[in-house]
Structure 1
Amino acid sequence: MALRLVQVNFKARDDAALGRFWAEALGWGVSSEGPGVTNLEPEGFVWPDPAGFYIDMVTVPDPETVKYRAHLELATASAAHQAELVARLKELGATPADVGQGDVPWTALTDPEGNVFRVLEPREIYRDTGPIAAVVVDCADPRALARFWGEAVDLTLHEVSGDHALLRSAEGVGSYLELRRTSDVTTVRNRVHLDLLPYPVDDKEAEVARLRALGATSADVGQGEVPWTVLADPEGNEFCVLGRG
């Protein structure tokens, strides 16, 4: 197995503006590999360090038409830290979100482009993840989808039930991937998706073939001629296998 979960990709109306919000929110650095793309990296890490986690913002037409099926959850170290972080995020332009959560210890917000995310209360499991505790993907069957992702990528399964599955890199570093059961699973394109990196990168075609054998399918999100390959997992969540540009 030679695939690593390295980053999430946001479809944006304005990649630079959205990138500035998230860079200030996370305390990360900003760069750009070209027009319409903003890259965020944690300070002190060099991409694709498995202990780090990365975000790409890419400007696309009409990002509002795609589904919020994946979201970020942010870690905090104490109740005071959680309150301070929520207040600072609101000052940066985040707004409260009602996702039907009721009385819960975490706070739901949206970024300036309407992407929902959560600021979690302190949890021991996330004490060493950095600011992004987990990337959460909605699904109908966490157990089945965990089997796919556990075989597809260099991830170790930490928890699994009928309601959720929690995976993390085999090195035990970085953010978690959580597969969370929901009754409202749609099949439209996602606004936030995962990017996978083969290592070595020249193994991309072999890795794509292996993923298809595991149940991944080809996906067309209007990508055209690009060095990466767009696939979907067995529940229709798009992801990209990166290649050499």
Structure 2
Amino acid sequence: MATRLVQINMKARNDAALGGFWAKVLGWGISSEEPGVTNLEPVGLVYPDPVAVCIDLVISTEPKVGKNRVHVDLATTSAEHQAELVARLTELGATPVDIGQGDVPWTVLADPEGNEFCVLEPRPIYRDTGPIAAVVVDCADPHEMARFWGQATDWTVHEVTGEHASLRSAAGVGPYLEFVRNPDPKTGWNRVHLDVRPYPGDDMAAEADRLRALGATDADLGGTDVRWKVLIDTEGNEFCLLTPA
């Protein structure tokens, strides 16, 4: 048994408007499974497919507080492409943001609702990831995150150091999942979180039990009844276990 990282969930004051921004950023298709939810995925993708980690935007009235602990890094192919992409995203409504990054070769921007993301300088490792180079999670201990998420999913651990850990789909396609050490404590619920899904035929309850055995705990939803399971990883990050598909 195992899960797959299939999408990220992003809270939004206006899911349709923010979804429109990100669809243009990524060149992806846009749809809506129900009011208050906007779904983004590559055109023609048969979901779920490891070639892409899709994005669900869900309406929420909760304000954004502080820097998100989960963000995306965008890939570029050349210095010219990076400059052109930053210019295009600025025209779409992105704004430069200072999160204390200092003098770095990548550009940090915020989307129209203030969610941080990075436009990376060209790096050979991301040449075949698609527009999203990596989904990045702040953490206290990259070794622990690599252990938990490497066992929670069937993704392959590629690198682990005291500062950084990276995983990628076992199929060797799509973006990386990266954990970067950050001493800032987690406060409140993550506005952006990971969604994982078991394979067809797997038992969702058994998979939830397996994740708990690895160190996950149940989130307190205050009596809310949903068809997926909300769990918390070993560093307190919420994630959703979706139904098998």
Q: TM-score range by the shorter chain?
A: over 0.9
Alignment match, 1:92: 92
The answer to whether structure 1 residue 228 and structure 2 residue 228 are counterparts is yes
After TM superposition, the score normalised by the length of structure 1 is: 0.96
- For 1:221 and 1:210, locate their aligned partners in 2 and report how far apart those are by CA, in whole Å: 21
Amino acid corresponding to residue 57 of structure 2 in structure 1: M
Give a deviation string over 1:114-145, Cα, whole Å, max 9, x none: 00000000000000000000011011010011
Which 4+ runs in 1 deviate beyond 2 A? Answer: 220-223
Range 54-63 or range 230-239, more displaced: 54-63
Q: How many angstroms does 1:202 deviate by?
A: 4.9
- For 2:244 and 2:124, locate their aligned partners in 1 and report how far apart those are by CA, in whole Å: 38
Amino acid corresponding to residue 42 of structure 2 in structure 1: P
Give a deviation string over 1:1-58, Cα, whole Å, max 9, x none: 3211000000110100000000001100000000000000112311101112200000
Q: Which runs of 5+ in 1 are unaligned?
A: none
- Are residues 223 and 121 of structure 1, via their aligned partners in 2, closer, same or farther at CA, if it must alter by over 3 Å? farther
- Are residues 38 and 223 of structure 1, via their aligned partners in 2, closer, same or farther at CA, if it must alter by over 3 Å? farther
- Are residues 41 and 51 of structure 1, via their aligned partners in 2, closer, same or farther at CA, if it must alter by over 3 Å? same
Alignment match, 1:13: 13
Q: How many angstroms does 1:65 deviate by?
A: 4.3
- For 1:222 and 1:12, locate their aligned partners in 2 and report how far apart those are by CA, in whole Å: 21
- Are residues 149 and 193 of structure 1, via their aligned partners in 2, closer, same or farther at CA, if it must alter by over 3 Å? same
The CA RMSD over aligned residues, in Å, is: 1.6
- For 1:244 and 1:82, locate their aligned partners in 2 and report how far apart those are by CA, in whole Å: 38
The answer to whether structure 1 residue 77 and structure 2 residue 66 are counterparts is no
Q: Percent identity of the aligned residues?
A: 68
- For 2:168 and 2:9, locate their aligned partners in 1 and report how far apart those are by CA, in whole Å: 18
In structure 1, the residue corresponding to 2:64 is in which secondary structure?
A: helix
- For 2:17 and 2:203, locate their aligned partners in 1 and report how far apart those are by CA, in whole Å: 35
**What is the number of equivalent residue pairs in this alignment?**
245
